């Protein structure tokens, strides 16, 4: 796999010709919404399959999978267009396999109202599906946001992705509730109530484990967290259920260097099947304009955690999102709105702007002029693209860690999965 950055004078035809691939494949693998209006600086993924097959009369997906001794899910994730239709076309070329680097575990985060089409497109590329539908409330009770998670659980199992129940004190907009968290952590009766409540939901709904989110973990309170985690771990083992911990980790930058909250992750990792390090990104952002992710900072985090935690327990999450800031940034007043990656490219396209790239963070950005009520302002959008994904996955490979989380999968991004699937074999348990 390689990445081509669109230059002035390029078009979809010239790029397809340069790499001797079909226009249709270039469009599908990159999820191009405006294939005939490419943006200067836009990143395109070019893949080189190891093995392909031309469909013959009478072929089915299963017969082709059997012919090459591969799983059906491998064919589906390597040929994203198949997930939109029920039939194969005689003469079409299918990707059987890529020259991959190794295995990777993937964990996609989603709400139950994800569209069925997006869900089905994504599931072949997921090891786990973490479903955000429940919030911890007073005394260990659990609040349900949507009652329709039965279907998403059922479909995830059909596609070999393990459904995990996400447990958190966060609400749907990402607002934290520290009071409830510590009320439960300091009361064993509430803890037992909480555990019994989520185990009941797991059994009724058919989840295969939990993914519990910690937002306030630090060295001063780690002891009380560990007591609670140990209690959960014992219950989960008894019930033969999976237990993951997502850590909304704390960090800050001083004098250009990232500083992490010091935590004994080794102890936590002994209780759980895996640790997921994630900075949640929501619909708005009050912070100054900055890269959505920073590969250098991600490396610092991994290097710190890997000192005490075995690599097979470590998972790093990647946010698939963009943020749009109006300039100048005004502290305590400015708010950046989130955008899907397709929406980001739509803004760039409609404003005929050029995408730039920050080599340090490995993320793209661009400036444009917006108009509102007759007033104009300069805006900056930071987002992630194939180059960001490739850099993050290279870190995962170089450090031999277990895998990645994707926050979130509510809007399908073909390019993200092309980057992952052309380099790694997704683990299916």
CATH number at residue 351: 3.20.20.80
Residue matched to tokens 């490396």: 299
Pairing state between β 128-136 and 142-144: antiparallel
For position 400, what pLDDT does the model report? 98
For position 256, what pLDDT does the model report? 67
- 46 lies in the same domain as 134: no
Cα-based angle 298, 134, 106 (whole degrees, multiple of 5): 35
| 241 CB neighbour count, 10 Å cutoff | 19
- 75 lies in the same domain as 149: no
Tokens (6 digits) for 185: 């952590």
- 293 lies in the same domain as 151: yes
- 132 lies in the same domain as 164: yes
Query: Rounded to whole angstroms, what are the CA distances from 178 to 174, 215, 216, 263?
Result: 12, 8, 7, 18
For position 281, what pLDDT does the model report? 76
Q: Nearest-CA neighbor of 275 among 226, 320, 330, 312? A: 312
- 158 lies in the same domain as 256: yes
Last residue of a domain, one of 39, 74, 98: 98
For position 173, what pLDDT does the model report? 67
For position 172, what pLDDT does the model report? 67
User: Number of structural domains, the chain?
Assistant: 2
Secondary structure (H, E, C), the chain = CEEEECCCCCCHHHHHHHHCCCHHHHHHHHCCCCCCCCCCCCEEEECCEEEEEECCCCCCHHHHHHHHCCCHHHHHHHCHHHHHCCCCCCCCEEEEEECCCEEEEEEEEECCCCCHHHHHHHHHHCCEEEEEEEEECHHHCEEECCCCHHHHHHHHHHCCCEEEEEEECCCCCCCCCHHHHHHHHCCHHHHHHHHHHHHHHHHHHCCCEEEEEECCCCCCCHHHHHHHHHHHHHHHHHCCCEEEEEECCCEEEECCEEEECCCCHHHHHHHCCEEEECCCCCCEECCCCCCCCCHHHHHHHHHHHCCCCCHHHEEEEEECCEEEEECCCCCCCCCEEEECHHHHHHHHHHCCCCCEEECCCCEEEEEEEEEECCEEEEEEEEECCHHHHHHHHHHHHHHCCCEEEEECCCCCCHHHHHHHHCCEEECCC
Q: Where on the phi/psi map is residue 143: left (φ > 0), alpha (ψ -120 to 50), or beta?
A: beta
Q: Supply the range of the domain harboring residue 251.
A: 102-426
Last residue of a domain, one of 71, 98, 125: 98
For position 349, what pLDDT does the model report? 95
Q: Nearest-CA neighbor of 422 among 86, 27, 30? A: 30
- 50 lies in the same domain as 118: no
Q: Tell me the CATH number at 49.
A: 3.10.350.10
Q: 302, 395 in Cβ contact below 8 A?
A: yes
- 60 lies in the same domain as 131: no
Q: Nearest-CA neighbor of 322 among 351, 355, 298, 300? A: 355
pTM of the model: 0.96
- 16 lies in the same domain as 144: no
Would you give per-residue pLDDT tens digits along the chain (429 residues)?
A: 999 999 999 999 999 999 999 999 999 999 999 999 999 999 999 999 999 999 999 999 999 999 999 999 999 999 999 988 889 999 999 999 999 999 999 999 999 999 999 999 999 999 999 999 999 999 999 999 988 899 999 999 999 999 999 999 877 666 777 889 889 999 999 999 999 999 999 999 999 999 999 888 888 889 999 999 999 999 999 999 999 999 988 777 777 677 777 888 999 999 999 999 998 877 788 999 999 999 999 999 999 999 999 999 999 999 999 999 999 999 999 999 999 999 999 999 999 999 999 999 999 999 999 988 788 999 999 999 999 999 999 999 999 999 999 999 999 999 999 999 999 999 999
- 155 lies in the same domain as 67: no
- 91 lies in the same domain as 106: no
Query: Rounded to whole angstroms, what are the CA distances from 11 to 7, 36, 235?
Result: 9, 7, 57
Last residue of a domain, one of 98, 131, 166: 98
- 108 lies in the same domain as 212: yes
312 burial level (CB within 10 Å; 0-12, 13-18, 19+)? middle
For position 253, what pLDDT does the model report? 73
- 161 lies in the same domain as 301: yes
């Amino acid at each position: 796999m390689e990445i081509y950055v669109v230059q002035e004078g390029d078009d979809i035809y010239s790029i397809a010709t340069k790499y001797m691939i079909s226009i249709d494949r270039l469009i599908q693998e990159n999820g191009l919404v405006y294939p005939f209006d490419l943006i200067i600086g836009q990143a395109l993924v070019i893949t080189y399959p190891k093995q392909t097959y031309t469909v013959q009369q009478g072929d089915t997906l299963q017969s082709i999978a059997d012919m090459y001794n591969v799983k059906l899910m491998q064919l589906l994730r390597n040929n994203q267009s198949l997930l939109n239709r029920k039939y194969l076309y005689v003469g079409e070329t299918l990707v059987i396999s890529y020259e991959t680097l190794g295995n990777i575990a993937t964990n996609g985060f989603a709400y139950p109202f994800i569209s069925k089409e997006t869900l089905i497109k994504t599931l072949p590329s997921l090891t786990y599906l973490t479903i955000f539908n429940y919030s911890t409330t007073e005394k260990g009770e659990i609040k349900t946001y949507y009652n329709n998670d039965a279907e998403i659980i059922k479909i995830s199992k059909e596609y070999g992705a393990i459904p995990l129940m996400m447990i958190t004190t966060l609400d749907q907009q990402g607002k934290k509730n520290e009071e409830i968290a510590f009320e439960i952590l300091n009361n064993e009766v509430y803890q037992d109530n909480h555990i019994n409540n989520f185990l009941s939901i797991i059994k009724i709904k058919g989840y295969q484990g939990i993914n519990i989110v910690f937002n306030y973990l630090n060295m001063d309170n780690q002891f009380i967290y560990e007591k609670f985690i140990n209690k959960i771990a014992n219950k989960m083992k008894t019930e033969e259920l999976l237990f993951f911990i997502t850590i909304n980790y704390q960090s800050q930058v001083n004098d250009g260097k990232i500083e992490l909250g010091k935590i004994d992750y080794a102890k936590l990792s002994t209780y759980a099947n895996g640790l997921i390090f994630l900075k949640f990104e929501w619909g708005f952002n009050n912070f100054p304009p900055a890269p959505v992710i920073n590969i250098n900072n991600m490396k610092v985090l991994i290097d710190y955690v890997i000192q005490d935690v075995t690599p097979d327990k470590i998972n790093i999450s990647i946010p698939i999102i963009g943020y749009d800031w109006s300039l100048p940034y005004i502290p305590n007043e400015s708010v950046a709105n989130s955008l899907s990656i397709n929406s980001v490219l739509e803004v760039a396209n409609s404003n005929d702007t050029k995408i730039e790239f920050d080599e340090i963070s490995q993320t793209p950005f661009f400036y444009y002029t917006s108009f509102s009520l007759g007033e104009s302002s300069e805006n900056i959008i930071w987002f992630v693209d194939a180059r960001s994904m490739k850099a993050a996955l290279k870190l995962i490979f170089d450090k031999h860690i277990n895998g990645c989380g994707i926050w979130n999968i509510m809007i399908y991004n073909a390019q993200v999965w092309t980057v992952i699937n052309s380099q790694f074999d997704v683990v299916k348990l």
